[in-house]
Structure 1
Amino acid sequence: MTIPWHFTPQPADLPIEQVRERFDHPEMPEKMELICGNIFWDDTQRFHLFGLLIEDLGTEAVESLPPETSSDILSVAAIGNRR
């Protein structure tokens, strides 16, 4: 089951049902924990949390970072959105 992310310049204003779907998604980590030097068990969990953060902040917040940083972050977000 794939989450249809809504990456917009401003923070996404999602209906509560969509927010709950994201938090209840089977690949969404339930808690943060350090496992062998990594947060979460795998990249899928990391991408899901990353997607939530970008939706919550909006892409403008990411783009306001130094160009090399924002470009890298948005590239990773695009990869996660295709999963």
Structure 2
Amino acid sequence: MGQRHGRTHILCRRCGRNAYHVQWERCAACAYPRASRRRYNWSVKAIKRRRTGTGRCRYLKVVNRRIANHFKTPSA
């Protein structure tokens, strides 16, 4: 039971998970480099983990603040 020292998966460029298969050149988590992202409905929890609102949400924070202020521009 030896001689398995190589790395099968490395970090994926798109999702950042350690699921990019080196030989197959395909991410097991997000299916990179395929254009459409890997997603199945058999696990609703798994979809929620990757959905909008789980990351940094930099733009959404700004938009929500602007909505609260009724899109008023700052007066100089």
Q: Tell whether the structures are fold-level matches, with TM greater than 0.5.
A: no
Relative contact order, higher structure (CA 8 A, sep 6+): 1
Structure with the larger helix share: 1
Structure with bigger gyration radius: 2
> TM-score of the superposition, structure 2-length normalised?
0.26
